Structure 1
Amino acid sequence: MIKILGFILTIAGGIGLVIGILGVFGSMEVGMSPWAIGILGIVFFFAGIGLLKNRKDTDQN
């Protein structure tokens, strides 16, 4: 379960990073501040990577 959450957070963070970078450099118009989306992307990405690196999956025997 923890690995699934880590994978979802990593993917969401990567998407947030891409949208934030495109918004900051003017290639894409987003509804909120592109800096906020980029910062949230960084937080989610590193949280997901941290979960994938340091946690063991407890669903397995």
Structure 2
Amino acid sequence: MNLKRTFGAILTILGIVGVIWGAYAFLAGGDSVGGVSMNQFSSVVPFIVGLIFFFTGISLIKGTKDTA
């Protein structure tokens, strides 16, 4: 099992969760999301971090050679 591919998969999953959470918090319009009170401007932060995690994870998965 390749450690880079595993870490890439974990980052990708965390990125997807971050993007969904940021989008949901943005659409909630300042209500409490998951016990965390956010307004529309602060909901951009988990969205951006989620995008960074997602694209970093995808590049780790694609860039790692599969050796047996």
Name the TM-score class by shorter chain: 0.7 to 0.9
More helix by share: 1
More strand by share: 2
1:37 maps to 2:46: yes
**Structure number with larger C-alpha Rg:** 2
Shift of 1:29: 2.7
**TM-score normalised per structure 2:** 0.75
Shift of 1:56: 2.0
Aligned partner of 2:20 in structure 1 is 18
Aligned partner letter, 2:53: F
Per-residue Cα deviation, 1:7-48 (whole angstroms, up to 9, x for no partner): 000000000000000001117634352100000000000000
Aligned partner of 1:53 in structure 2 is 62
Aligned partner of 1:8 in structure 2 is 10
Percent sequence identity over aligned pairs: 37
Which structure 1 segments of 5+ residues have no match? none
Q: Does the Cα contact within 8 Å between 1:13 and 1:43 map onto a contact in 2?
A: yes
Shift of 1:55: 1.3
Which structure 2 segments of 5+ residues have no match? none
- Secondary structure of the residue aligned to 1:56 is coil
